[in-house]
Structure 1
Amino acid sequence: MTDLSRRRLLGVGAGAAVVGAVAGVGGAYAAQQGSEGSDGSATVGQADEADVPFRGAHQSGIITPAQDRMHFVALDVVTEDRAAVAEMLKAWTRAAERMTVGAEAAPGGVVGGGPYRAPEDTGEAYDLDASDLTITIGYGPSLFDDRFGLADRRPAALQDLPGFVGDDLDPGRSGGDLCIQACANDPQVAVHAVRNLVRMGFGVVSVRWSQLGFGRTSSTTRDQVTPRNMFGFKDGTNNLKAEDTAALSEHVWVQPADVPGDSAWMAGGSYLVARRIRMHIEIWDRTTLQEQQDIIGRDKGEGAPLGQKAEFDALDFATKGADGKPAIAVDAHVALAHESRLNGIRILRRGYNFTDGSDGLGHLDAGLFFIGFMRDAQKQFVPMQRALAAKDGLNEYIEHTGSAVFACPPGLGPDAHWGQDLFS
């Protein structure tokens, strides 16, 4: 496209020429991309193949190549009207599908309905493209209480996480009935997506807490370079990748046998664990390089395991250092989190850095917003975090201040919408 954004071309406004449309057919949308012809007139072509597909076997935003920005929000349901919740999820589906192809949240756009009605779209992304936007939703354990008759549909694995040694959790940053994860390469696109879905849910949901993230801290495909966290170390070198289909089936995607009976709606989905981890970066920044590397278990520059040369060299816990001791200490972060020390446990990491201003005491409120996807949080994340909480030398420099777990249902077929299987 030239100087016209797809959002503007797809929007419908009073007094504006309609040069493109996203039309709903049975809940599925066919996107059209506009551009300028040689005579300056608008032409209509095919949808941009670079957009992340909204529909498929699994929700986007899990194994999708991790984008650079994220807006995550947890919500409380403020009504006991089951039909209202179901209708909201259906409306969210329509809006999310539109926004992921670069259209406004609703056909009326930023001017539809005239000057005496609120716009159908808040407008801050009006001139921006889709920016690889993905929108992922999840259901918290609290949604399955007695308000909506869903108790017998709650998967056995969907339980609140237990407390861990060293936790300093803020209830105002934890839990939630629902969550929305919006990821994009433009922060304004991600914020716009969350803002408009929350706006559409007025009277049905309210924001419990939210988190902005910048700078992904994991790679989810083999083509991506390993990023760095706020401590300056490469993060997620040994992460599961989208290409590891067998490993994803074993460790990330919920299998039909995991969710018998009324919880079968969760087959093909994944459990999302969110942890807000405050990093005490001022203390870390005064720590010697050698101590930093010993705590992590990797070289800070290259990212190689201590005792090895390259980032992707295998961890060798038998390798000795110059002092005759193991090059990677038994309480190093990479050692405690390694699958060989956790009975084969692996998860898909998809976290982000954050900086939320200062704490009023002269310190940055910064750290890692950890997001992990897994087949069963109770069997994977809980033992992993217990091992890290008990022994990890990194605990001197971090504290967990927020926590939540959500069941992210599978992807949508051509005519399906969010909540359809759960609320049917």
Structure 2
Amino acid sequence: MTDEDVTSPSRRALIGWGGAGLALGAAAAGGTAAALSGGEDKTRPVADSGAAVPFYGTHQAGIATAVQDRLHFAAFDVTTDDRDALIAMLKEWTKAAARMTQGHAVGGGAVSDLAEAPPDDTGEALGLKASRLTLTIGFGPGLFEDKKGKDRFGLAGRRPKALIDLPAFPGDNLDAARSDGDLCVQACADDPQVAVHAIRNLARIGMGTVAIRWSQLGFGKTSSTTPEAQTPRNMMGFKDGTRNISGTDEAALKKHVWVGEKAGPDWLVGGSYLVARRIRMHIETWDRTSLKEQEDIFGRDKGEGAPYGKQRERDEPNLKAMLPDAHVRLAHPDSNGGVRLLRRGYSFTDGTDGLGRLDAGLFFLAYQHDVRNGFVPVQRNLARQDALNEYIQHVGSALFAVPPGVRDKDDWWGRALFS
């Protein structure tokens, strides 16, 4: 990234992790070219995967924004008890995020006249476009009160009631090293190197104040906020997230995603709650399962993605035509009191587990206005009955309160919380 607009397409922007050679430009699911102060993000799908998404607005970008192709998610532990140091870091993070999302380098850039000092930017994104990069921050329960009950930053009284400790669900096998965190940053982009560059620079800026607790790379979005586009497929080969909330459906976003004034607290109004779950798939077992059983488990045909008894994937499903333990039937809003989540999940592959089995699955990300009547009841329903449970296991989990957007250049991530 440079301080000048880049007009020529970058080779890196057309290459996936590991040189997969997947052209991202033609497959981009959204974006908009906009100035740094472009206001609230109301992105529509466009072909240019190098475009910039506005940073400033009522809501943080990266929630209702058209879902990008790549993800780098990082959860951080705060390693200091110094409130002023944490605030200073959040201000610097905000400045850096505002620049990187517009395709600019951090601070003075990766190359300067002072060769004796480390550069302000790590440099691996030099010459690359913004690639619809969005950076979304969230605050975990540990920021308000640590595991020992200590209120390190004077925030315990400002913890939202909905920022709960998620209950244990049947079948969970959670790894503490892949769970929780005081802060999180979700970096989404159409170029994987742009997303990785963003997290790397924030971690560098935060050195001495925060440290990465765990992180996850994701590819192949498994849900879409642009229903007019084709629904993506997950690692099991099925279309996923057909009934996801549209990023342009303001009524549904207000009802199901954004925290309202009555729910509060004040500092979180216009924000949301993010559930992150690392779900490992038993790929080898699934691959030996008959097509008929696979379709029975999901309640959809594998080719078109249509609900059982229907012709097209977006046809209204007849839940009674599915088996009682079919995934679609149990996850459907009609089976959960009308609850809807805005999903932004990604597939992942992280090598093997030492026994020759692929460590792969779904990195589930979902936004909602209250997990207590959102994710929690839906997951309880699935965990107890879903036939898919034979082939998956939840191994990582975290919950974060996601503040509203940064309004202008004088605002910063978390200002209302710390005020």
Q: TM-score range by the shorter chain?
A: 0.7 to 0.9
* Structure-2 residue corresponding to 1:338: 332
Contact kept? 1:69, 1:187, Cα under 8 Å: yes
Report the alpha carbon displacement of residue 115 of structure 1 after superposing the two structures with TM.
Answer: 1.5
Q: Distance in 1 between matches of 2:208 and 2:166?
A: 29
* TM-superposition CA deviations, 1:84-134 (whole Å, max 9, x none): 11111111110000001100111x111226121111100110121100000
The answer to whether 1:114 aligns with 2:109 is: no
Is the Cα–Cα contact under 8 Å of residues 184 and 190 in structure 1 kept in the other structure?
yes
Q: Is the 8 A contact 2:282 2:391 kept in 1?
A: yes
Sort the Cα spacing of 1:49 and 1:73 in 2 relative to 1 into closer, same or farther, 3 A: closer
Q: Which runs of 5+ in 1 are unaligned?
A: 1-5, 12-27, 32-47, 319-326
**CA–CA distance in structure 2, aligned partners of residues 373 and 158 of structure 1:** 13
Counterpart for residue 147 of structure 1: 152
Instruction: State yes or no: 1:171 paired with 2:176.
Output: yes
Are the counterparts in 2 of residues 70 and 181 from structure 1 also a CA contact under 8 Å?
yes
Q: CA deviation at 1:317?
A: 2.4
Q: TM-score, normalised to structure 1's length?
A: 0.86
Asked if 2 retains the 8 angstrom alpha-carbon contact of 1:128 and 1:189, the reply is yes
**Aligned 8 A contact 1:273 1:404 in 2:** yes
- SS of 1:111's equivalent in the other structure is coil
Pairwise CA distance, 1:243 = 2.1
Aligned to 1:44: none
CA distance in 2, matches of 1:9, 1:185: 20
Q: Is the 8 A contact 1:63 1:221 kept in 2?
A: no
Correspondence 1:78-97 to 2 at 5 A? 78-97=79-98
Deviation at 1:222, TM superposition (A): 2.6
Q: Aligned partners of 1:102 and 1:223: how far apart in 2? A: 27
| Residue 375 (structure 2) aligns with | 381
Q: Which string of whole-angstrom CA distances, capped at 9 and with x for unpartnered residues, describes residues 324-354 of structure 1?
A: xxx3111100011111111111100100000
Residue pair 1:59, 1:410 contacting (<8 A) in 2 also: yes
CA deviation string 1:217-253 (max 9, x = no partner): 0011233221000000001001111122111111100
Query: What corresponds to 2:307 in structure 1?
Result: 305
1:362, 1:87 → 2: CA distance?
46
Work out the CA distance in 2 between the residues paired with 1:411 and 1:239.
22
Which structure 1 residue ranges, 4+ long, deviate > 4 Å from structure 2? 28-31
Partner of 2:14: none
Distance 1:198 1:49, change over 3 A: closer
Give, in whole Å, the separation in 2 of the partners of 1:254 and 1:300.
36
- Aligned counterpart, 1:236: 241
Q: Distance in 2 between matches of 1:201 and 1:412?
A: 19
Give the structure 1 partner of residue 317 of structure 2. Answer: 315
Match in the other structure for 1:43: none
Task: State the AA in 1 paired with 2:198.
Answer: A
What is aligned with 1:393?
Answer: 387
Matches of 1:350 and 1:384, distance apart in 2? 16
CA distance in 2, matches of 1:114, 1:160: 48
Aligned residue in 2 for 1:7? 2
Q: Which amino acid aligns with 2:119?
A: P
Q: Distance in 1 between the 2:384 and 2:78 partners?
A: 35
Separation in 1, partners of 2:184, 2:87: 15
Aligned in 2, Cα 1:68/1:29: closer, same or farther, shift over 3 Å?
A: closer
Partners of 1:224 and 1:196 lie apart in 2 by 32
Matched position secondary structure for 1:98: helix
* Counterpart contact for 2:36–2:54, Cα < 8 Å: no
Partner SS state of residue 4, structure 2: helix
Structure 2 counterpart of 1:128: 128
CA distance change for structure 1 residues 226 and 111 in 2, over 3 Å: closer, same or farther? same
- AA at the equivalent of 1:423: F
Aligned sequence identity (%): 61
Aligned length: 375
Secondary structure (helix, strand or coil) at the match of 2:319 reads coil
| Alignment deviations for residues 359-379 of structure 1 (CA, whole Å, 9 cap, x no partner) | 110111000000000000121
Aligned partners of 1:369, 1:94: CA distance in 2, in Å? 28
Who is 1:15 aligned against?
Answer: none
Distance of 1:206 and 1:317 partners within structure 2: 46
For the residues of structure 1 that align with 2:66 and 2:37, how far apart are their CA atoms? Answer: 23
| Alpha-carbon distance, 1:410 to partner | 0.5
Kept in 2, the 8 Å contact 1:8–1:127? The answer is no
SS across alignment from 1:199:
helix
CA distance in 2, matches of 1:97, 1:224: 28
Residue 271 in structure 1 maps to residue 273 in structure 2? yes
Q: Distance in 1 between matches of 2:260 and 2:186?
A: 23
**CA distance in structure 2 between the aligned counterparts of 1:406 and 1:102, rounded to whole angstroms:** 27
Pairing 1:296–2:290 present: no
> Larger C-alpha radius of gyration, 1 or 2?
1
Residues 252 and 348 in structure 1, CA contact (< 8 A), matched pair in contact too: yes
Residues 171-229 of structure 1 show CA distances to partners (whole Å, capped at 9, x for unaligned) of 00000000000000000000000000010000000010000000100011233221000
